[in-house]
Structure 1
């Protein structure tokens, strides 16, 4: 891991915005040594500042302004509508997780989202953006020019307060395909608000990660309605939430819906027992789209798995991966890192 300070930003930004023919194509602090690949394209294509340690939150603010000088002088929302990025400000992938960022920088990031025609993936996980920060960011996400496809906001200290804003983004965005909200205290109320956006006919989201979001069975009826209404949702991660057997029973109503296209369902550590396996087996008998099912760290016991096995014998069942047991490749943190690096 690199220990970057504001002085370290200068050569990076000079390489991005300088008048040179060869530009950095990737800066990746996950490597033991900085490996800087050069190509002849114009501009930095991937910028990863993973787990970067900044001396103060203001330096993250300074860095984003330095990376995008075209927005540095913008003072009002009206001006954001007319910002044009230069060729050397074209970035496809921006990874800024654990960079000690706060809501201070979110207005500038919103301006980037509204101005950039190239940015496809933004990872802000592990930063204390809070509800105010995401509300500012949503202004950029709703911009007609925003082309972002992947947004990761895990452990960003978000609550139900901001879920209405996110729902509006889901209903307006034609590009967003993946949203990671894991590790935030959204609660049932927050997800109920989010479900309104997920059910919107214009919503194109394919992957939704809601691990450890303090959800209960109360919201599973709303999620079932989303599964029955969405033509795009392919992956849903509900791991680490106390859904219980009643919650899964409600969720199965959505899984059985003829319009459900879900392919991956993660229910790791959801307080499930063998009592829910009959409902799950019945749902899977009618749902032929499911490919990946994670039931790890639940008390299904032999009787529950036997019920599932009856459906596994069907020749028309398309399930490819079934996860169970007590150990599945390490801690949640390691799994999260693997997700975010893929």
Structure 2
């Protein structure tokens, strides 16, 4: 789908959405050549789930350096990896780049890619206001790079998405409680807090997220019910490999809750060493 604007008798392409089309790197090179034309006024380019790889990023970086009208770029659900992000970095650092919204969810980006993005935004911090990185796995150092960037007064980022909505809500709640971003913690102790269904659902969503690296979770005297225990164990089944210690003492788990915990322990990927 494309959107056009009538100006001085000419149709000018403002939005190009080629998402879900298997373009590959060759087609992207052809498209980016068009976008570098001085007559091109495109401000939104959507290439979500187009089978792109790191090779496409070199051409896209050239567009960022040459096309100052481009404001939004969606590259979600492509296998760009860190090497692709480092190529995009060259375009993002250019002073001619005025991109405001960049979406890179589910692009196979890890710690090195996050560092490259943070470096680019420190070099050229004045335009980007929205950055979506959900579904990537940066490790704690990658999260810290961008968390530190937000403290820079020159940084214009208003929306920085690492997490799903529920996990983000959990992150905000836990940051207020712990006075530190839980994505940077190895241990989380919420003992003697009445969490309720909503908070447990949010914490479960956070436990499932690749950004969460907790090894110890302490939920003693939190009035956790068998229903809430099932929610937590479902999350641990989806992301079982990091948690080493789990404390659920003095809650109302009942037999059903304990049975679900036993299912987690049977998983060959489960690394729990201590269960209270």
Instruction: Give the shorter-chain TM-score range.
Output: 0.5 to 0.7
1:263 corresponds to which residue?
none
Aligned partner of residue 46 in structure 1, secondary structure: strand
Could you give the per-residue CA deviations for residues 304-329 of structure 1, whole angstroms, max 9, x where no partner exists? 89xxxxxxxxxxxxxxxxxxxx9xxx
Given candidates 182, 186, 192, the residue that maps to 2:144 is 192
- Other-structure match for 2:153: 201
Q: Is the 8 A contact 1:64 1:105 kept in 2?
A: no
Alignment of 1:1-342 (within 5 A): 27=2, 39-40=6-7, 41-54=10-23, 57-68=24-35, 70=36, 85-87=37-39, 89-171=40-122, 172-211=124-163, 239=167, 248=174, 252-253=178-179, 275=191, 295=199, 297-298=201-202
C-alpha change, 1:299 and 1:96, in structure 2 (3 Å) is: closer
**Cα distance change of structure 1 residues 132 and 249 upon mapping to structure 2, 3 Å threshold:** closer
Is the Cα–Cα contact under 8 Å of residues 61 and 104 in structure 1 kept in the other structure? no
Is the Cα–Cα contact under 8 Å of residues 110 and 140 in structure 1 kept in the other structure? Answer: yes
CA displacement at 1:248 relative to structure 2: 1.5
* Residues in 2 aligned to 1:251 and 1:107: alpha-carbon distance in whole angstroms: 43
SS at 2:179 equivalent: helix
Q: 8 Å contact 1:50–1:99 — kept in the other structure?
A: yes
Shift of 1:241: 11
Equivalent-residue separation in structure 1 for 2:100 and 2:20 (angstroms) = 22
Q: Which runs of 5+ in 2 are unaligned?
A: 205-220, 224-230, 232-276
CA distance in structure 1 between the partners assigned to 2:53 and 2:151 by the alignment: 30
User: Do the aligned partners of residues 154 and 118 (structure 1) sit closer, same or farther apart at CA in structure 2, a change above 3 Å counting?
Assistant: same
Q: Distance in 1 between matches of 2:138 and 2:6?
A: 42
Alignment CA distance shift 1:38-1:151 (3 Å):
closer
Q: Give aligned pairs, total.
A: 198
Deviation at 1:149, TM superposition (A): 0.5
Give the direction of change, closer, same or farther, for the CA distance of 1:299–1:169 in structure 2 (3 Å limit): closer
Shift of 1:169: 2.2
Residue 296 to residue 144, structure 1, CA distance change in 2 (3 Å): farther
SS of match in other structure, 2:51: coil
Instruction: Report the Cα offset of residue 132 of structure 1.
Output: 0.8
- Flag the structure with more relative contact order, 1 or 2, with Cα contacts below 8 A and sequence separation at least 6: 2
Q: Distance between the aligned counterparts of 1:276 and 1:166, measured in 2?
A: 39
Q: What is the CA distance between 1:62 and its match in structure 2?
A: 3.4
Q: TM-score, length-normalised on structure 2? A: 0.60
| Structure 1 residues 112 and 277, CA gap change in structure 2 (3 angstroms) | farther
| Unaligned 5+ runs, structure 1 | 1-25, 28-35, 71-84, 213-236, 256-266, 281-293, 306-325, 327-342
Question: How high is the TM-score relative to the length of structure 1?
Answer: 0.50
Contact kept? 1:209, 1:238, Cα under 8 Å = no
The RMSD of aligned alpha carbons is 3.7
Counterpart position of 1:224: none
| C-alpha displacement of 1:254 | 6.1
SS in 1 for 2:13: coil
